[in-house]
């Protein structure tokens, strides 16, 4: 079930030979340049994502999960290595990769739920209003917000706002949905409900998602594959495959949670 970092690359090569993965991240190093500091966020990170994967990036705070997601989104260029989607190198953001963030303020406050979901369909996909509205309404239904379709964001709960952001991302039918700790700011009950709803949506549409979290339990619940990153700078520690199988077996999810915890925090002197 665990593939060590050393074992990941050959496995990816084998997959790549069998069929080009949807997304392929090869030895990616990402750095921030500040006026007096050079921060290496990730070092030589490799992984690949296949169609319909629920792929989780998991690791302690500061290991570069969000930075990796930004790079896949095309908002940041690797200093070395490459990121390819459908065989093309990622150089800028595109409608094939839609982001959902943690923050509740990612919606446009002056637009209704419907208008928020329609916006990228009109602007990026350049659809006619009638067409955009039809698609937007279908995805608003999918996230169970039909009754709030004409509401403005400030009248919605945190969970409802996140549902709108998910509907907006999914309505674009991107190749990959990029989710950066989308449920982290929600209360525990709502978070669990949102995780269930996301899985129901996945059962419906089998979309491909990369999901960032630092919750091991959330990673196990959401994913079919988990990439474990070491603390700053982030390097691949291992990949967990067949998570679905483990989390459906009695007692196995708890054991897997313990194993992942031990693997992530086994470094001497590391504090959680």
Ligand X SMILES: Nc1ncnc2c1ncn2[C@@H]1O[C@H](COP(=O)(O)OP(=O)(O)OP(=O)(O)O)[C@@H](O)[C@H]1O
- Could you list the residues that contact ligand X (CB under 6 A)? 32, 34, 39, 41, 59, 61-67, 214, 232
Q: Which is nearer to ligand X, 55 or 139 (CB)?
A: 55
Q: How far is CA 111 from CA 8, 38, 154, 196, in A?
A: 45, 39, 10, 28
- Shortest Cβ 65–ligand X spacing (Å): 4
Of the pair 44, 66, the CB lying nearest ligand X is at: 66
User: Backbone phi, then psi, for 209, in 5-degree steps?
Assistant: -140, 140
Q: Is 270 exposed, middle or buried (0-12, 13-18, 19+ CB in 10 A)?
A: exposed
Among 73, 13, 53, CA closest to 243:
53
Nearer to ligand X, 168 or 214 (CB): 214
Q: Measured from the CB of residue 116, what is the shortest distance to ligand X in angstroms?
A: 25
Instruction: Answer for the pair 198, 219: CB distance below 8 angstroms, yes or no.
Output: no
CB nearer to ligand X: give 163 or 214: 214
Q: Is there a contact between 92 and 81 (Cβ–Cβ < 8 Å)?
A: no
Ordered strands of the 97-100 beta sheet: 2-4, 236-240, 225-229, 54-58, 209-213, 176-180, 97-100
Residue closer to ligand X by CB (options 65, 97) is 65
Residue 134 three-state SS: helix
In angstroms, give the least distance from the CB of 32 to ligand X: 3
> Measured from the CB of residue 43, what is the shortest distance to ligand X in angstroms?
11
Distance between CA 173 and CA 93 in Å, rounded? Answer: 15
Within 8 A by CB and 6+ apart from 136, the residues are 114, 117, 118, 121, 167, 171
CB of 39 to ligand X, least distance (A): 4
Q: Which is nearer to ligand X, 97 or 142 (CB)?
A: 97
Smallest distance, Å, CB 218 to ligand X?
Answer: 12
């Amino acid at each position: 079930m665990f593939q060590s970092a050393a074992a990941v690359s050959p496995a990816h090569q084998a997959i790549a030979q069998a069929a080009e993965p949807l997304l392929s991240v090869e030895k990616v190093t990402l750095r921030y340049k500040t006026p007096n500091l050079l921060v290496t966020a990730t070092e030589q990170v490799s992984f690949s994502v296949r169609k319909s994967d629920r792929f989780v990036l998991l690791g302690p705070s500061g290991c570069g999960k969000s930075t990796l997601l930004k790079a896949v989104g095309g908002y940041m260029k690797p200093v070395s290595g490459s990121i390819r989607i459908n065989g093309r190198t990622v150089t800028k953001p595109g409608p094939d990769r839609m982001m959902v963030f943690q923050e509740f303020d990612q919606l446009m406050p002056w637009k209704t739920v419907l208008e928020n979901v329609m916006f990228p369909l009109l602007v990026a996909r350049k659809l006619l209003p009638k067409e955009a509205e039809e698609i937007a309404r279908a995805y608003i239904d999918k996230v169970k917000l039909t009754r709030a379709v004409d509401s403005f964001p400030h009248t919605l709960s945190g969970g409802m706002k996140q549902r709108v952001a998910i509907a907006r991302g999914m309505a674009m039918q991107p190749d990959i949905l990029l989710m950066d700790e989308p449920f982290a700011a929600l209360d525990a009950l709502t978070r669990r409900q949102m995780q269930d709803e996301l899985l129901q949506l996945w059962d419906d549409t089998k979309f491909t998602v990369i999901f960032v979290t630092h919750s091991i339990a959330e990673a196990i619940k959401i994913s079919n594959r988990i990439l474990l990153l070491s603390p700053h700078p982030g390097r691949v520690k291992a990949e967990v495959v067949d998570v679905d199988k483990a989390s459906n077996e009695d007692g196995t999810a708890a054991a897997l949670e313990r194993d992942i915890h031990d693997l992530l925090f086994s470094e001497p002197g590391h504090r959680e």
